[in-house]
Amino acid sequence: MTQPLSKKIRTKALSVLDERVLRVMPGTLPRRARMAVLRSLGATIAPTAYLGTGTRVVGPEGLTVKDGVVVARDCTLDARGKLTLEDHALIGFETVILTRTHVSSETGKPIQQQGMYDAPVTIGARTWVGTRAVFVPGASTGEDAIVASMACVTRDVEPKVIVGGVPARVIQERAAGA
């Protein structure tokens, strides 16, 4: 189904406004304007959520940000394959969460000619993702997990564990109530 030309122009204009202006402007007013623009582009963002300055949103129509979520500055949120940040998740500086990447199954054929695939990512409630962590498509976390700084999450993380490393692996379990 093709969008009418006026809707395509509006969507492109709002995307450029978000990417080139509002994303990089500090302050409350630009942040509020940015949330309104992202919502008009299809994102679902709770009023109590916070996206830090410089955070890039790719595919806002696939983004769901729930109550009390904080995303620090300069993150990349790729929501083309559906990205959900559950209640009170905390995402550290410069984290990259991908939901789309290249297919790479055929040898002898350039990667860029093999197409793309999507896989949803969910960051569980009350999960803390440290600075510069990376998530590949399809790698989600359970609730109350901690992902160490600079970890590369390549598969699902169970609830209530601490993971770190490349690729991320369980370092320890979190104690109840701790």
Q: Give domain status of residue 140, yes or no.
A: yes
Domain total of the chain: 1
**Gap between the Cα atoms of 39 and 118, Å rounded:** 22
Q: What is the pLDDT of residue 3?
A: 67
pTM of the predicted model as reported, rounded to 2 decimal places: 0.91
Decide if 3 is inside a domain: no
- Give the per-residue pLDDT at 116: 95
Residue 130 located in a structural domain: yes
Residue 58 included in any domain: yes
Q: Is residue 14, in this structure, part of any structural domain at all?
A: no
CATH at residue 136: 2.160.10.10
Contact 154, 137 (CB under 8 A): no
Residues of the chain with pLDDT under 50: none
Host domain of residue 99: 45-173
Do the domain assignments include residue 31? no
* Catalytic sites, residue numbers: 102
DSSP 8-state symbol, 140: -
pLDDT in tens, 28-43: 888 899 999 999 999 9
